Amino acid sequence: MEPMENFTENREQGFTLIELLIAMALALVVIASLSSVFILQRKTYDVQEQISEMTQNGRAAMEMLTREIRMTGYGAPKSNISNWIDWVTGVTMDSNPKIEDGGSGSDIIHMAACFDGPAGSLSAAATKGNTSITLGSGEGSEFNTIDKKVINIGRLESAVVTSAGDTLTIDTDPTTTGNQGLKNDYEIGALVSIVKVISYSIVQEDGSYILKRNENLGAGRQPLAENIIDLQFTQSGDTIEINPLTSQTDKSDPNYSQNNGYRTFSQRAYITPPNLLIN
């Protein structure tokens, strides 16, 4: 008897070329769809990021600006201010604040106040009529006779420093010839502050618009916020209106048809400084 042979038929089959082509085509369609969704989401994210940055820049600029406008006049002379403040280049401070009309461009604002804390205090009592005051040791270095010369003494009266040092020679009325003396008595410890002038303006550099802040102490205009494209002021009585402060996105969006693709964000504010006195 012949031995029985075991025979197993191989029923496994591979993919045909047609099936492979169909599978690849389907895979490409899925990948293309996913890529389109990713690109669309990325563009949407970029747009939202630009809008968020634009809004944040605009609000930060408005907050800083309104805070310092609100301080206008604090500790500063209330009348004849141009006789007191003469160091701001190209500007006659005949009002406080002083607004320069930019015409078709942005306006500029200059504000005088004791924006910082006290720069010194009296180390000796000063009596009415005195034309000098004595500060603590070394505190006189904070003052000069150029751009840190208008001071406020004891939160009561203003004076101009005519000679600097720990003992300041002062003049309480620059409209009158000679140094005029104090109008009040002051005890030891009375605070002495410096009146500064802060200016805000928009500067265009390399195609970008930058809101700059200048303390008018020799350092020049310093960047405060980028992509601030418009700043307008009006004043009615004691109230200053900002309308508008406009910021824009850093990059243009080809899918946005207005303003050459740049989105904008405008704000408006009314500020009435409590220390402002219209002359």
**Structure confidence by residue, pLDDT tens digits, 170-190:** 999 999 999 999 999 999 999
In tens, the pLDDT along 35-56 reads: 776 676 677 678 789 999 999 9
Instruction: State yes or no: cis peptide before 273, omega within 30 of 0.
Output: no
Terminal-residue alpha carbon distance, the chain: 134
With vertex at residue 269, the alpha carbon angle to CA 73 and CA 55, rounded to the nearest 5 degrees, is 120
Residue 107 has pLDDT above 60, yes or no: yes
State the pLDDT at residue 279: 45
Are 140 and 168 spatial neighbours (Cβ–Cβ below 8 Å)? yes
Closest CA to 235 of 84, 111, 92, 86: 111
* Section 73-101 average pLDDT: 95
Average pLDDT over the chain, rounded to an integer: 91
State the pLDDT at residue 6: 56
Ramachandran category for residue 165: left, alpha or beta (phi over 0 → left; psi -120 to 50 → alpha): left
What is the pTM assigned to this prediction?
0.84
- Residue whose pair of structure tokens reads 């369609």 in the numeric block: 29
Are 111 and 67 spatial neighbours (Cβ–Cβ below 8 Å)? no
State the pLDDT at residue 27: 80
- Residue whose pair of structure tokens reads 């006195």 in the numeric block: 277
* Separation CA 121–CA 193 (nearest Å): 8
With vertex at residue 213, the alpha carbon angle to CA 211 and CA 217, rounded to the nearest 5 degrees, is 155
- Please, is 85 exposed, middle or buried when counting C-beta atoms within 10 Å of its C-beta (0-12, 13-18, 19+)? buried
Q: How confident is the model at residue 105 (pLDDT cuts 50, 70, 90)?
A: very high
Closest CA to 226 of 212, 242, 244: 212
* Separation CA 19–CA 68 (nearest Å): 74
State the pLDDT at residue 45: 72
CA 164 to chain centre: 32
* Separation CA 52–CA 3 (nearest Å): 86
- Residue whose pair of structure tokens reads 């006659």 in the numeric block: 92
* Separation CA 157–CA 132 (nearest Å): 14
* Separation CA 251–CA 263 (nearest Å): 9
